Amino acid sequence: MPTRSPSELASLARPSRLMRAFALALLPLALAACNGGGSDDDAENAPLPAPPPVAETPAPEPEAPARNTAYLQAKPGDVIQVRIEELNPTQAAIGYDQIYYKLGRWQGDFDRATWAADPALQLDYLNRTVGKKFDDYCEDVGGAERAQKFQSIAQARAARLDQPDTFTCKDAPGTNAANLKTVVVGWDGNLYLTDGHHTFSSLREIADGGPKLPVWVKVDANYSDLTSAAAFWQRMVDERRAWLRDGQNQPITVDQLPARLGLANAQEPGGMQEDRYRSLVYFTRDIAYSNGNLPEFAEFLWGDWLRRQAAAGQLQGLDQYKMQAPATPAQILAVSTLNSSLAPTGSADSYAAAVRDASLKMSALNDADIVFEDRDAASLGRIVLAPGAASGSPTKDARDTLEELPRNDFKTSDSTPRGAGKLWFAVNYRTCGKPAAGTCWGW
């Protein structure tokens, strides 16, 4: 049914002047026919009284949408506790492989046979994986890291994010405001997330997290004084607090933003799209750019620039690399590195090769080179890679980071646990699901 304006609805609720005039004109003719053309009775020939005026029904006032009153008084800088389901996205897409890295790392296999004969090594492995989930959560909600590592495997098994009495952060949640993700109070009183889409999507997807998991956020602005959604979103766009592109980097309207955080799936409506270039940029972190004090949506700006480089033939497109099935995990995780002179070595078409090639293009920019609109490479954290750089330099650290991306989680020399690479976790989780014996994780 088409939507009618208040004036249209009002006009439908009352007869038109033409119809009233037509009815009055026909009334004497109808009466004459009933009376046989007249009567000598003065009363019968007396003029009929005029019909009463038709009362006009006023047009109904449009109903204002219900406002969420819980956060209307929140001020910039306030730290508030919320549920993940209360946070509305201001971007349409996320890098799924960044989420898969978190989900792969946070879910260590309690029944893994690799270190079953040595409980100390098994506990070390669980602190590096399951323990990392609690370290990340504590940091992201402003509580620093965990107060203490797991002291036993039983303690690790019992700890759950949705049961806060099973673990302790070093500081109370909300204490370290600098670590908190940020929100804006919208014109409707609801909370719009401006930083933390990947963090809270990961926590929403993990088994002991979910939409009702409590988190702490910092209010960046309160725009509940604006009188319309259009005014609110115009201000968000003007202040670069929204990224209105889809997973293919195509423009969208605010009505096309997802209704919730988290991955899209067939079991639950809503969810965020996948942006593969956003994943790629995440893995170039600490190789091509540093993550500190960047503007909002900086990784999307780098992703837009890399897409334009590929479209211009200055960089291979992602379809030229083995990054997903039908390629095997071994092909995807083939090592690609940079030697001391910054010459590419190793695989030319693995996921790490895509990261390496993108990093070289990003690093080759000058600080003043424009990446997106008025954002230059320096403002987006570009790392300068220099050939022949010494140990301990940013370049050597970047080369080491690249080399570690696809490595597994045990030392070949003595089979003790070690920190695995982000790509190793992401690729195995996407391909194999939760870490478990008998799956393609390899144990």
Mean pLDDT, the chain, rounded, equals 89
Task: Tell me the mean pLDDT per 10 residues along the chain, length 443.
Answer: 38 37 36 38 48 57 75 98 98 98 97 95 98 98 95 97 97 96 98 98 98 98 97 98 98 98 95 98 98 94 98 98 96 98 98 98 98 98 97 97 97 94 98 93 91
Phi, psi for residue 183 in degrees, rounded to 5 = -135, 160
Q: How many CA atoms lie within 13 A of 124 on its CB side?
A: 14
Residue 229: C-alpha distances to residues 232, 233, 261 (Å): 5, 6, 20
- Residue 239 is assigned to a structural domain of this protein: yes
**Nearest C-alpha neighbor of 439 from the set 101, 112, 102, 105:** 112
CATH number of the domain where residue 188 is located = 3.90.1530.10
pLDDT of residue 122: 97
Q: Are 126 and 153 part of one and the same domain?
A: yes
Mind giving me the DSSP string for 131-189?
HHHHHHHHHHTTS-SBSS--SSHHHHHH-BTTBGGG--BSS-TTS-GGG-EEEEE-TTS
Q: Are 270 and 295 part of one and the same domain?
A: no
User: DSSP 3-state assignment of 376?
Assistant: strand
- Rounded Cα–Cα distance for residues 105 and 205 (Å): 13
Q: Are 314 and 367 part of one and the same domain?
A: yes
pLDDT of residue 32: 37
Q: Are 73 and 182 part of one and the same domain?
A: yes
What pTM was estimated for this model as a whole? Answer: 0.85
pLDDT of residue 56: 59
Q: Are 117 and 174 part of one and the same domain?
A: yes
pLDDT of residue 51: 57
Domain of 340, in residue numbers = 276-406
Task: Give the count of domains, the chain.
Answer: 2
Tokens for 426, please give them. Answer: 């992401």
pLDDT of residue 3: 41
Query: What pLDDT, in 10s, does the model give residues 265-279?
Result: 999 999 999 999 999
- Residue 110 is assigned to a structural domain of this protein: yes
Q: Are 206 and 88 part of one and the same domain?
A: yes
Q: Are 270 and 280 part of one and the same domain?
A: no
- Residue 63 is assigned to a structural domain of this protein: no
Tokens for 365, please give them. Answer: 């920019």
Q: Are 179 and 302 part of one and the same domain?
A: no
pLDDT of residue 418: 96
Last residue of a domain, one of 231, 255, 274: 274
- Residue 15 is assigned to a structural domain of this protein: no
- Residue 420 is assigned to a structural domain of this protein: no
Burial of 182: CB neighbours in 10 Å, binned 0-12, 13-18, 19+: middle
Q: Are 219 and 295 part of one and the same domain?
A: no
Q: Are 209 and 73 part of one and the same domain?
A: yes
Q: Are 169 and 238 part of one and the same domain?
A: yes
User: Furthest-apart CA pair in the chain: how many Å?
Assistant: 127
Find how far residue 438's CA is from the centre of its chain: 33
pLDDT of residue 50: 56
- Residue 417 is assigned to a structural domain of this protein: no
- Residue 130 is assigned to a structural domain of this protein: yes
The answer to whether residues 71 and 187 touch, using CB atoms and an 8 Å cutoff, is: no
- Residue 426 is assigned to a structural domain of this protein: no
Cβ count within 10 A of residue 364:
14
